[in-house]
């Protein structure tokens, strides 16, 4: 199973980029042994449209163009379900075992994801009740993907 992260906005050079790259590399090392075929990250520029509806529609179109057929779509959304790391790992492991070709994680822009995209998601996840900047959400997501791989492999990184 491939894992794809589609994010509105770019991570500029700096500590967030370095940390995101570190977790991505760690996942690549352990993920292949677990049947994951890679972790791709697609960055989409924020829409410059003047009103919220147009911005969300522009971003939704760009995101939708990158989602492969038969994907499990997971939205990172402040209104989503708060799940622990073990449950997150179970979701990834189950999709892998069910031969889902791609798990696609969506990180929306400042206005969030369009209602049309939210209707397509299989799982909506929140990293707590707080609102987080998209740069931090990406780092936290990549850490959780790496952590899920360590849980699935029995590696001691996760000590719950």
**CA–CA gap between residue 108 and residue 113 (Å, rounded):** 5
**Residue 88, domain member (yes or no):** yes
The confidence score (pLDDT) of residue 160 equals 65
Ligand-binding site membership of 112 (annotated): no
In a domain, 160, yes or no: no
Name the strand (E) or helix (H) holding 140: helix 134-153
Q: Is 34 annotated as a binding residue?
A: no
Instruction: Count structural domains, the chain.
Output: 1
Whether residue 73 is contained in a domain is answered as yes
Residue 159 located in a structural domain:
no
Q: Say what the pLDDT of residue 159 is.
A: 75
| DSSP letter (8 states) at residue 111 | T
> CA 126, CA 75: separation in Å to the nearest integer?
9
Q: HSE (CB half, 13 Å, CA atoms) of 120?
A: 19
- With contact defined as beta carbons under 8 Å apart, do 41 and 72 qualify? no
Is 116 a member of any domain? yes
Domain with 54 in it: what CATH number? 3.40.1280.10
Question: What are 92-145's pLDDT values in tens digits?
Answer: 999 999 999 999 999 999 899 999 999 999 999 999 988 888 899 999 999 999
Domain containing residue 132: 2-153
In a domain, 144, yes or no: yes
53 within domain boundaries: yes
Residue 75 falls inside a structural domain: yes
- Name the band, by pLDDT with cuts 50, 70 and 90, for residue 157: confident
């Amino acid at each position: 199973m491939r894992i794809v992260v589609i994010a509105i906005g770019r991570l500029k050079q700096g500590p967030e980029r370095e940390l995101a790259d570190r977790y991505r590399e760690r996942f690549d090392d352990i993920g292949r042994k677990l049947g994951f075929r890679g972790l791709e990250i697609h960055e989409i520029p924020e829409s410059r449209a003047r009103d919220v509806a147009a911005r969300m529609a522009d971003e939704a179109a760009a995101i939708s163009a990158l989602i492969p057929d038969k994907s499990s779509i997971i939205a990172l959304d402040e209104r989503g379900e708060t799940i622990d790391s073990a449950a997150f790992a179970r979701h990834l492991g189950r999709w892998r075992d069910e031969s889902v070709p791609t798990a696609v994680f969506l990180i929306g822009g400042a206005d969030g994801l369009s209602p049309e995209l939210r209707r397509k998601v299989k799982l909506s996840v929140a990293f707590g009740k707080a609102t987080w900047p998209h740069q931090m959400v990406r780092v936290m997501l990549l850490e959780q993907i790496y952590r899920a791989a360590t849980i699935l492999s029995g590696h001691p990184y996760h000590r719950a």
